[in-house]
Amino acid sequence: MDRFSDSILKKCLRKHLGKAAEHALLSRIPTGKFNTSYYADIGADQYVLRIAPPRDSVFVFYERDMMKQEPGIHALLLEKTSVPVPEIIAFDQSGECIPDTFLIMSRMPGVALSQAYGVDIRRTLHQAGRCLAQVHALTAEPHGYIGEHCPMEPKARWHEAFFDMWDRMIADIVSAGYYSPKEADFLRSLVFRHAAVFKRPVQSSLLHMDIWAQNLLVDRKGNLTGIVDWDRALWGDPEIEFAVLDYCGISTPQFMQGYGRARDDSPEARIRNAFYLLYEIQKYIVIRSGRNNNHSSAKAHKRQVFEIAAKIE
């Protein structure tokens, strides 16, 4: 059951788009796992209304209030790159219309790649690679989740940020009841026993961290028309982005050709990749157990974590 009525949604739209929003045609967007999103057509103008989860939801440490960082990231991408992202028209955390934070943005053309059939996916991934190369070329000084949601203290070096992120992720899973103190200690000690492979100069790059078929929009020929859902963005080592791309089946030869740079395939990079993959997988223990009430899936992800950890060990 949808937790928002049309009248409530129109109230949110009317606050920022005026009286014409009273006649908005609304439809729920079927893709997306975290936020609740709607298409809103007002005459010839098309928008997306995206609402963050309730504040009492179960979150991984960096997820709470992460929508706050999207306006700045979208503005940066629109100014500095040719990456197709929507313009954010309004960001509202006032609680006046609904208790939850929401944003209104322009609707990008196309449909999610996960819903497109018969398109040339090789074209899509090649173009996605070119776009992500532009994203990774955007740099900052600090490392970590440095956005307005402030889930951690920014770090001067990437390895410091990643070790903090690793520790916080493990703490979330302990709190969820899926790691014993002994298991948590093992995973914490595992990363520090391999700390040397992380201690190298790393430029802090903008990372999307959620590129998969639902967040790539395409036209009927497979041309990339949009990259959406930047709320999980992170600043740091592009290698951790590639662990997510590998996991989601995005980093194909066509993608890498578009990206235009070869990946580090050294023994040290392979160890880092294993840890970065573990970081990605572990979040699903919290998500499946706390938000989806799917304990069998959470346990399966835990088994996968310790299988990979055993190989590293």
Please state, in angstroms and rounded to a whole number, the distance separating the CA atoms of residues 146 and 204. 11
Which is nearest to 97 in space by CA: 16, 24, 37? Answer: 16
pLDDT at site 155: 98
- pLDDT, residue 292, reads 85
List the beta bridge partners of residue 106.
Answer: 47
Tokens representing 257 are 């050709």
Tell me the angle at which helices 158-175 and 267-286 cross, rounded to the nearest 10 degrees. Answer: 30
Q: In this predicted structure, what is the pLDDT of residue 31? A: 81
83 — pLDDT class (breaks 50, 70, 90): very high
pLDDT in tens, 156-203: 999 999 999 999 999 999 999 999 999 999 999 999 999 999 999 999
Task: Please list the helix, strand and coil fractions of the chain in percent, rounded to the nearest 5, in that order.
Answer: 45, 15, 35
β-partners of residue 48 are: 39, 105
Summary mean pLDDT of the chain: 96
In whole angstroms, what is the distance from residue 130 CA to residue 77 CA?
14
Where do the domains of the chain lie, and which CATH numbers do they carry? 6-108 (3.30.200.20), 113-312 (3.90.1200.10)
Q: How many CB atoms lie within 10 A of CB 194?
A: 16
- pLDDT confidence of residue 33: 77
- pLDDT value of residue 163: 98
pLDDT tens column, 212-271: 999 999 999 999 999 999 999 999 999 999 999 999 999 999 999 999 999 999 999 999
Are the C-beta atoms of 211 and 248 separated by less than 8 Å? yes
Helix (H) or strand (E) holding 236: strand 234-236
Q: Is the pLDDT of residue 1 over 80?
A: no
pLDDT tens for each residue of 10-24: 999 999 999 999 999
Angle at 86 between CA 18 and CA 6, to 5 degrees: 40
Q: What is the pLDDT of residue 30?
A: 85
> What stretches of 43-166 adopt beta strand conformation (E)?
45-51, 88-92, 102-106, 111-112, 139-140
Q: What is the pTM of this model?
A: 0.95
Q: 101-141, pLDDT tens digit by residue? A: 999 999 999 999 999 999 999 999 999 999 999 999 999 99
